[in-house]
């Protein structure tokens, strides 16, 4: 018995020792072996099905697995035709999309009009998919939605499976009819939710969500959920936008952990340090030469509970809050180079129609802030201003600084209320003080930053703000004959927003990544801030 | 013996049922009070009522009881029990099989536990035995002081220091010294590597084991001291047995009972350490999965994992009980 016990320990230890100290790890790449690009994703990724992918990670992966009708210029974010031969419309209601001939999926199926129609009908008909709402502009979308009972539960499943506004004219021609004119329609079409899907994919959506069948330069070979995604170059890729010198890509999942130490140890090609390590990285002259930066497009802004009474009903009060926030100092101290102060509701230069300085009261001016507060009748004695947000640690730091700024300059005591159920509280109008919001745009057009303010009636939406004039201006933009004219109308809508001031722009995120010595031509997407994998080169 | 085991199993099933029911109530209440995970799914987008309804259905939260605070939602709970009875542990909110998640995560956590257990046994047995054997000597004091110091150093500090400061130069040095195609660089990788799970989990496991070893060292020392003062040891010595034989056969073996108990009991405790270790070292394991599941109100996943963990704990307990009998001839389960 006793011998047996010690023998067991000894054996256990020996097994581990043998496994750890056995022969050499044989998978290390030789100099002439395949080149694997090693990237990271930072959230728990749930799916790789195009119609259901809506976060930065799966969008970044699908960007090299699928080809869309259009892609976006890395300099200007303007769309250009990629899988599409042409996208045309006389009246911005009926759109004719012609597809380039002889394109196939990685399994050999043709990428034709039917492949797009198949994908769009599926996503439009399944309201539980993330990208479903993109099809709201399509004729026939309403008819596809399920009937609800009074409690907001599904009473009757809908059996309509095709958008009436979507017609396959011939093999390579697709016709789309919208419910109303929309000049920006072709700009939307590069988004993940508009990728085509193969028949084999729809036959088994669950499998396809794990190993998608794409039409892009890389093919997902295995996704070990929670751990890593592996993709290999698709040898028969017919088009030209594909990274040079890359045979395979491996994305390691880091949910919450930092990949910086792995980057320093040479195990990862692209990373960015946590604020604690940033100073050391910035002081390293050799490393500083391998830094790629780009303006980001995501806007963090502050909203007021305009659905209930209180000082926020007064525009002067909202101005006072905005003028009391020292954006430059806060962002300088906390962002680690990953954000810029915002003074507009649309990211400047990043998207058509984005212009800096549209927000007149987004500067730091304590005296003007005090004057505005006085004009608004001051802050009610003995009350505390609550600041609602989710429980993200970075955001808590930011909003603590914002609260301090308000308290220091306006003498308004504040209380942070971080809550993991932020989204539910917000949709139920549960906040009774200012609260944080974030908007990550879907496609590069200023309309996308503004359309969610169009709630259709008084009291609806997350902020309780409604302006008929604003919504009419957006509609005018949608109906404009050309995109350029539409952009101008959308800018006018933004001006109405700037004048009525229901929300306060706070910061735009900025993209910044350090990359390894073997990478070249690294550019960040001005829109998502992610590395444009198709443009880079690996030199080995 | 057989009847004893059977009784323990019946107790365990009752316990499991109770744990599941309490957890079900808690997660249900969380959804009722905080609103539903379906809205978080859309994030900053503003979904239409039809979209919210469809996502609720997809998440399996479309039962009206989830909208009524205080309703225990017995219907869904009975449904879930029925599923479990058929051996189906269901899916998480996004439709991924709980068994798949566990199959992917559990091996890594078990690897971690193996390393932790070995570390404990080696450190605890060696240091504890030395301290007990030469009680009051400088080495005894040194070992006791060390155990206090280990207690004072939280595991996350140890791991962060290791990852952020030690691994990068160390793995670089190992590459230069032993070559890229050798094991040492893998031992000191800053993060877990799924291709080489044992090699990259070894050091974090040892560190986690080290952090939890203090109590273990003291436990071994105390129980051996008790044995040294015992009648059976005096008898053994007076029979003229050699000191080495006395120590190994009469002291170490007799004082192993509390030690085995501790190893069994600390499985659950090690899981909390595993949450931290897995988080810092980026190991896909049960601790992290459970942590995320609780945070996102994922009823099915929380219940599924806890069911599995409870079952495992019960089995470990029974094994420990049986090990008692093997260690101490006086203990018999009749």
At residue A29, the pLDDT reads 44
Q: Which of A165-179, A330-344, B302-316 has the highest mean pLDDT?
A: A165-179
Whether residues A270 and A416 fall in one domain: no
Least confident of A346-360, A498-512, B72-86, B247-261: B247-261
Which of the listed residues A188, A215, A242 is the one where a domain comes to its end? A215
Q: How confident is the model at residue A434 (pLDDT cuts 50, 70, 90)?
A: very high
Same domain, A272 and A235: yes
Between B49, B163, B253, which is nearest A2 by CB?
Answer: B253
* N-to-C CA span, chain A: 58
Residues of A within 8 A of B186 (CB-CB) are 25
Q: Which domain holds residue A224?
A: 34-42+217-290+516-539
Same domain (yes/no): A201, A281? no
Residues A429 and A353 in one domain: yes
Q: pLDDT value at position A14?
A: 44
Chain B contact present for A456, CB below 8 A: no
Q: How far apart are CA B315 and CA A309, in angstroms?
A: 59
Split at pLDDT 50, 70, 90, the class of B131 is very high
User: Is pLDDT of B124 > 70?
Assistant: yes
The arithmetic mean of pLDDT across residues B236-262, rounded, is 84
Based on the fold, state whether residues A330 and A469 are members of the same structural domain: yes
Instruction: Tell me, yes or no, whether A189 and A247 share the same domain.
Output: no
Q: Output the pLDDT for position A25.
A: 62
Residue A414 β-bridge partners:
A385
Residues A448 and A309 in one domain: yes
Question: Which position has the higher pLDDT, A43 or B22?
Answer: B22
Whether the CB-CB separation of B25 and B70 falls below 8 Å is answered with: no
List, in sequence order, the alpha helices (H) in A214-324: 260-264, 275-283, 285-288, 315-323
Cβ(A530)–Cβ(A271) below 8 Å: no
* Chosen from A23, A125, A127 to mutate, greatest number of chain B CBs within 10 A: A127
C-alpha–C-alpha distance, residues A224 and B104, integer Å:
8
**A500 shares a domain with A400:** yes
**pLDDT surpassing 70 at residue B319:** yes
Lowest mean pLDDT among A123-137, A222-236, A477-491, B18-32: B18-32
Question: Dihedral of CA A522/A523/A524/A530: which sign?
Answer: negative
Q: Is A438 on the interface with B (CB under 8 A)?
A: yes
Which chain A residue is nearest to residue B112, measuring alpha carbons? A16
- The band of A3, judged by pLDDT with boundaries at 50, 70 and 90, is very low
A123: left (phi over 0), alpha (psi -120 to 50) or beta: alpha
Question: Do residues A342 and A423 lie in contact, with contact meaning Cβ atoms separated by under 8 Å?
Answer: no
Predicted local distance difference test score (pLDDT) of residue A7: 42
pLDDT at A8 over 70: no
**What does the pLDDT read at residue A93?**
95
A495: CATH: 3.10.105.10
pLDDT at A12: 46
Region A300-309 average pLDDT: 94
> Is the pLDDT score of A1 beyond 80?
no
**For chain A, what is the total number of helices (H) and then of strands (E)?**
18, 21
Residues A464 and A525 in one domain: no
Domain final residue pick, A198, A215, A232? A215
Q: What percent of chain A has pLDDT over 90?
A: 73
Q: Residue A213 corresponds to which tokens in the numbers above?
A: 């069948």
* pLDDT band, residue A22 (cuts 50/70/90): very low
Centroid of chain to Cα A335? 19
Q: Which residue of A has its CA nearest to B42?
A: A130
Nearest to A25 among B163, B186, B190 (CB): B186
Q: Which residues of B touch A46 (CB under 8 A)?
A: 94, 96
Q: What per-residue confidence (pLDDT) applies to B268?
A: 63
E strand or H helix at B133: helix B98-133
The answer to whether the Cβ–Cβ distance between B183 and A21 falls below 8 Å is yes
Whether the pLDDT of residue B44 is over 60: the answer is yes
CATH topology of domain B98-296: MetI-like fold (1.10.3720)
Name the nearest CA neighbour of A137 among A82, A181, A72, A192.
Answer: A181
The residue from A215, A235, A258 where one domain ends is A215
pLDDT of residue A240: 92
Q: What is the mean pLDDT of residues B37-47?
A: 80
- What integer is the mean pLDDT of A266-278? 89
Beta strands in A102-163 (DSSP E): 147-148, 154-156
Query: Average pLDDT, whole number, for chain B?
Result: 85
Distance CA A383, CA A373 (A): 15
φ/ψ bin of A529: left (φ > 0), alpha (ψ from -120 to 50), beta (otherwise)? left
Q: Using pLDDT thresholds of 50, 70 and 90, give the confidence band for residue A11.
A: very low
Percent of chain A residues past pLDDT 70, beyond the cut: 94
Residue A313 resides in a domain = yes
pLDDT surpassing 70 at residue A152: yes
Element (H, E) at A92: none
Angle (CA) B271-B275-B278 rounded to 5° is 115
Given a cut of 60, whether residue B241 has pLDDT beyond it is: yes
Closest approach of A261 to chain B, Cα-based (Å): 6
CA distance B310 to chain A (A): 23
CB contacts of A145 in chain B (<8 Å) are 48, 50
Phi, psi of A78 (to 5 degrees): -70, 140
- Give chain A's domain count: 3
Residues A87 and A189 in one domain: yes
Instruction: State CA B129 to chain mean position distance.
Output: 25
For residue range B293-309, what is the model confidence (pLDDT) as tens digits? 887 778 889 888 888 88
Q: What pLDDT score was predicted for residue B229?
A: 86
Question: Is A55 within the bounds of a domain?
Answer: no
Using pLDDT thresholds of 50, 70 and 90, give the confidence band for residue A2: very low
Task: Flag whether residue A427 sits within 8 Å of chain B, measured between CB atoms.
Answer: yes
Considering the domain architecture, whether residues A331 and A422 belong to the same structural domain is answered as: yes
Range scoring the smallest mean pLDDT among A181-185, A195-199, B328-332: B328-332
Beta pairing, strands A166-170 & A154-156: unpaired
Residue A3 within a domain: no
pLDDT, averaged across chain A? 90
* Winning range, highest mean pLDDT, from A188-197, A248-257, B21-30, B84-93: A188-197
Residue A286 clears pLDDT 50, i.e. is over it: yes
For A254-271, the DSSP string reads -SSS--HHHHHTTS-SEE
Angle value at C-alpha A330, between A327 and A334, nearest 5 degrees: 135
Convert the pLDDT of each residue in B137-189 to its tens digit. 999 999 999 999 988 888 888 898 998 888 888 888 888 888 877 888 889 98
The yes-or-no verdict on residue A481 having pLDDT over 80 is yes
Confidence of residue A238 (pLDDT cuts 50, 70, 90): very high
Residue A456 pLDDT: 85
More confident residue, A403 or B59: A403
Domain layout of chain B by residue ranges? 14-86, 98-296
Taking only residues 476 to 535 of chain A, the set having a beta carbon closer than 8 angstroms to any beta carbon of chain B reads: none
> How confident is the model at residue A339, as a pLDDT?
93
Distance from CA of A170 to the nearest CA of B (A): 32
Bridging pattern class, strands A385-389 and A414-418: parallel
CATH number at residue A75: 3.90.76.10
Reported in sequence order, the residue ranges of A355-406 that DSSP labels E, i.e. its strands, are 385-389
Q: Do A427 and B64 touch (CB under 8 A)?
A: no
Q: How far apart are CA A86 and CA A68, in angstroms?
A: 13
Give the pLDDT confidence of A75-99 residue by residue, as tens digits: 888 899 999 999 999 999 999 999 9
pLDDT of residue A234: 96
Q: Are residues A202 and A233 in the same domain?
A: no
């Amino acid at each position: 018995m006793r011998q047996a016990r010690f023998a067991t320990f000894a054996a256990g230890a020996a097994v581990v020792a043998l496994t750890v100290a056995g022969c050499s790890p044989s998978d290390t790449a030789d100099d002439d072996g395949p080149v694997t690009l090693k990237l990271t994703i930072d959230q728990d990724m749930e799916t790789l099905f195009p119609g259901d992918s809506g976060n930065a990670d799966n969008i970044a992966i699908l960007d090299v697995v699928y080809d869309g009708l259009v892609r976006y210029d890395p300099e200007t974010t303007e769309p250009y035709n990629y899988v599409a031969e042409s996208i045309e419309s006389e009246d911005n209601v009926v759109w004719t999309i012609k597809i380039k001939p002889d394109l196939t999926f990685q399994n050999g199926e043709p990428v034709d009009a039917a492949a797009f129609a198949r994908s769009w009908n599926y996503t439009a008909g399944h309201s539980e998919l993330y990208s479903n709402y993109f099809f709201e502009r399509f004729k026939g979308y309403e008819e596809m939605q399920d009937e609800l009972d009074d409690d907001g539960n599904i009473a009757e499943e809908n059996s309509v499976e095709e958008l009436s506004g979507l017609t396959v004219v011939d093999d390579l021609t697709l016709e789309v009819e919208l419910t109303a004119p929309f000049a920006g329609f072709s700009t939307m079409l590069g988004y993940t939710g508009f990728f085509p899907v193969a028949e084999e994919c729809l036959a088994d959506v669950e499998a396809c969500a794990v190993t998608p069948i794409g039409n892009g330069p890389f093919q997902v070979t295995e996704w070990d959920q929670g751990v890593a995604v592996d993709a290999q170059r698709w040898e028969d890729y017919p088009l030209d936008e594909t990274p040079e010198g890359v045979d395979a890509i491996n994305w390691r999942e880091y949910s919450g952990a930092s990949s910086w130490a792995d980057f320093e140890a040479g195990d990862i090609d692209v990373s960015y340090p946590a604020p604690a390590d940033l100073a050391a990285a910035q002081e390293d002259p050799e490393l500083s030469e391998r830094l790629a930066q780009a303006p980001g497009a995501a806007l963090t802004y502050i909203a007021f509970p305009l659905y209930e009474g209180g000082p926020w009903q007064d525009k002067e009060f909202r101005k006072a809050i905005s003028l009391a926030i020292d954006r430059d100092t806060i962002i300088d101290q906390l962002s680690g180079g990953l954000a810029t102060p915002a003074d507009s509701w649309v990211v400047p230069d990043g998207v058509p129609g984005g212009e800096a300085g549209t927000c007149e009261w987004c500067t730091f001016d304590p005296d003007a802030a005090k004057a505005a507060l006085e004009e608004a009748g001051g802050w009610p004695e003995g009350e505390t201003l609550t600041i609602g947000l989710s429980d993200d640690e970075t955001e808590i730091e930011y909003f603590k600084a914002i609260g301090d700024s308000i308290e220091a300059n306006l003498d308004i005591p504040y209380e942070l209320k971080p809550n993991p159920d932020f989204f539910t509280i917000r949709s139920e109008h549960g906040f009774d003080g200012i609260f944080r919001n974030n908007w990550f745009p879907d496609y590069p057009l200023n309309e996308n930053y503004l359309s969610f303010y169009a709630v259709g009636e008084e009291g609806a939406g997350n902020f309780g703000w409604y302006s008929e004039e604003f919504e009419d201006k957006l509609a005018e933009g949608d109906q404009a004959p050309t995109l350029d004219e539409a952009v101008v109308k959308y800018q006018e809508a933004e001006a109405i927003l700037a004048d009525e001031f229901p929300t306060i722009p706070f910061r735009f995120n900025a993209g910044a990544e350090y990359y390894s010595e073997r990478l070249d031509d690294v550019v960040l997407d001005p829109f998502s801030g992610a590395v444009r994998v198709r443009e880079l080169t690996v030199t080995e | 013996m057989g009847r004893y085991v059977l009784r323990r199993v019946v107790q365990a099933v009752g316990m499991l049922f109770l744990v599941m029911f309490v957890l079900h109530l808690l997660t249900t209440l969380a959804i009722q009070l905080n609103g539903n995970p379906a809205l978080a799914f859309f994030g900053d987008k503003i979904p239409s009522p039809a979209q919210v309804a469809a996502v609720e259905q997809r998440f399996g939260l479309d039962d009206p009881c989830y909208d009524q605070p205080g309703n225990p939602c017995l219907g869904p709970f009975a449904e879930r029990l029925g599923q479990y009875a058929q051996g189906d542990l269901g899916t998480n909110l996004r439709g991924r099989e709980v068994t798949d998640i566990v199959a992917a995560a559990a091996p890594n956590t078990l690897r971690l536990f193996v390393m932790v257990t070995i570390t404990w046994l080696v450190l605890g047995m060696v240091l504890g035995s030395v301290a007990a054997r030469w009680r009051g000597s400088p080495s005894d004091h040194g070992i006791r002081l060390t155990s206090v110091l280990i207690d004072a150093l939280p595991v996350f500090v140890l791991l962060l220091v290791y990852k952020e400061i030690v691994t990068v130069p160390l793995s670089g040095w190992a590459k230069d010294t032993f070559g890229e195609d050798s094991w040492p660089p893998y031992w000191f990788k800053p993060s877990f590597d799924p291709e080489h799970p044992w090699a990259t989990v070894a050091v974090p496991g040892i560190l986690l084991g080290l952090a939890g070893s203090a109590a273990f060292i003291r436990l071994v020392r105390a129980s051996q001291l008790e044995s040294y003062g015992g009648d059976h040891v005096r008898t053994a010595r007076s029979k003229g047995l050699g000191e080495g034989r006395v120590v190994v056969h009469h002291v170490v073996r007799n004082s192993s009972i509390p030690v085995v108990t501790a190893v069994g009991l600390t499985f659950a405790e090690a899981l909390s350490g595993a949450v931290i270790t897995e988080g810092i070292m980026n190991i896909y394991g049960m601790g992290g999965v459970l942590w995320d599941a609780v945070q996102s109100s994922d009823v099915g996943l929380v219940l599924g994992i806890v069911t599995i963990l409870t079952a495992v704990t019960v089995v470990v307990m029974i094994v420990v009980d049986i090990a008692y009998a093997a260690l101490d001839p006086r203990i018999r389960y009749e």
